[in-house]
């Protein structure tokens, strides 16, 4: 809330991604109440006409007051493809998704032709929680992807036996041993 309030004082706009419908609804209610601003929420059940109107109003920087929308909450999957939301210069990933490509596609909504400002990406991770584990997995997947894509086929030969086991083995705490 503090981060959104601060960026709004600066005149910035943001996208907030969540993977849960209920969380998106709660975020929308809380932000509207606290900041007294209109907040759009796009999810899989949003009708096409309403979706197009929300996108157009978010992108229109000339709108002011109650007509304007500067905070856009999107469900990760509904907001991950085919949208151009360059009015935002902040992206929040409220809860993490297992697949880094899905998050990257969502972040890319603000990185399109027409973006004139630096975009800041914020990812929330609570220590000692599932989100921290997801973040570890995402980082490992991205490192592995970087090794495979950039390193050709030699990447696996550069891993130690311990690293190979780490990639393929189930963790003891996950199997109850």
> pLDDT higher for 106 or 114?
106
Mean pLDDT throughout 127-144? 83
Residue 21 burial (CB < 10 Å; 0-12/13-18/19+)? middle
pLDDT of residue 31: 97
Mean pLDDT throughout 144-167? 75
The yes-or-no verdict on residue 157 having pLDDT over 80 is no
Mean pLDDT for all residues in the chain: 84
3-state secondary structure the chain: CHHHHHHHHCCCCEEEEECCHHHHHHHHHHHHHHHCCCEEEECCCCCHHHHHHHHHHHHCCCCCHHHCCCEEEEECCCCCCCCCCCCCCEEEECCCCCCHHHHHHHHCCCCCCCCCCCCEEEECCCCCCHHHHHHHHHHHHHHHHHHHHHHHHHHHHHCCHHHHHHHHCCCHHHHCC
pLDDT of residue 22: 95
Q: How confident is the model at residue 9 (pLDDT cuts 50, 70, 90)?
A: very high
Q: Given CA atoms 37, 7, 108, 56 in this order, what sign does their dihedral have?
A: positive
pTM tops 0.85: no
Q: How confident is the model at residue 163 (pLDDT cuts 50, 70, 90)?
A: confident
33-47, 60-74, 114-128, 163-177, range with greatest mean pLDDT:
33-47
The yes-or-no verdict on residue 177 having pLDDT over 60 is no
**Domain annotation for the chain: domains and CATH numbers:** 2-123 (3.40.50.300), 130-175 (no CATH)
The string of pLDDT tens digits covering residues 42-91 is 998 999 899 999 999 999 988 887 788 999 999 977 765 568 888 889 99
pLDDT of residue 7: 94
Share of the chain above pLDDT 70, in %: 89
Mean pLDDT throughout 2-14? 94
């Amino acid at each position: 809330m503090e981060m959104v309030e601060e960026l709004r004082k600066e005149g910035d706009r943001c996208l907030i991604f969540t993977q849960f419908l209920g969380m998106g609804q709660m975020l929308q209610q809380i932000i509207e109440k606290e900041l007294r601003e209109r907040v759009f929420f796009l999810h899989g059940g949003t009708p096409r006409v309403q979706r197009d109107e929300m996108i157009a109003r978010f992108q229109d920087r000339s709108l002011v007051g109650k007509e304007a929308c500067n905070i856009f909450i999107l469900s990760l999957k509904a907001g991950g493809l085919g949208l151009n939301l360059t009015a935002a210069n902040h992206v929040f990933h409220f809860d993490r998704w297992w697949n880094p490509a899905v998050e990257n596609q969502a972040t890319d909504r603000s990185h399109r032709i027409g973006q004139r400002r630096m975009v800041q990406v914020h990812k929330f991770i609570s220590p000692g929680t599932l989100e921290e584990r997801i973040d570890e997995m995402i980082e490992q997947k991205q490192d592995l992807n970087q090794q495979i894509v950039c390193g050709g086929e030699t990447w696996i030969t550069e891993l130690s036996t311990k690293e190979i086991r780490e990639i393929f083995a189930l963790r003891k705490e996950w199997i109850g041993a």
